[in-house]
Amino acid sequence: DDATKTVTSVKGDTTVKLTIGQASINVNGADKALDVPAQIVDSRTLVPVRAIAESFGCDVAWDDPTKTVTITK
C-alpha cells in the first residue's frame, strides 16, 4: 500500500504486514521485532526473507559457502 508504506502478504489463515523503514513485522495482529526493516531500493521492495518465510511456517537454511538460502515447508 503506497499510501501507508505497508507490505501485506496473506496465505491461508496467516496475514503478514511490514511497514517500510520499521524494524517490526505483524503476524496475525501480533508484532515481532526484526533485525532489519523492509526497505525500498531502486524502486524494489526488499523484505527480510527469514521473517516472512518463518511467519508462514517454513524452515529457512543459510549455506554460507555458496551464499544460498533454502526455504522448505
Q: Which residues pair with 71 in a beta bridge?
A: 60
Domain region containing 30: 6-72
- The SS3 call for residue 59 is strand
Q: Which residue has the cell 489463515?
A: 13
On whether residue 1 sits in a domain, the answer given is no
Please check the confidence at residue 52 and state whether its pLDDT lies above 90. Answer: yes
Q: How far apart are CA 28 and CA 57, in angstroms?
A: 13
Model confidence at 47, pLDDT cuts 50, 70, 90, reads: very high
Pick from 29, 25, 21, 28: nearest CA to 52 = 25
Which pTM was predicted?
A: 0.83
Q: Are 61 and 69 in contact (CB under 8 A)?
A: yes
29 within some domain: yes
* pLDDT tops 90 at residue 56: yes
Q: The domain spanning residue 59 has which CATH number?
A: 3.30.457.10
Per-residue pLDDT at 37 exceeds 90? yes
Give a yes or no: residue 65 inside a domain. yes
pLDDT digits (tens, 9 = 90+) for 4-24: 999 999 999 999 999 999 999
Q: What is the number of structural domains in the chain?
A: 1
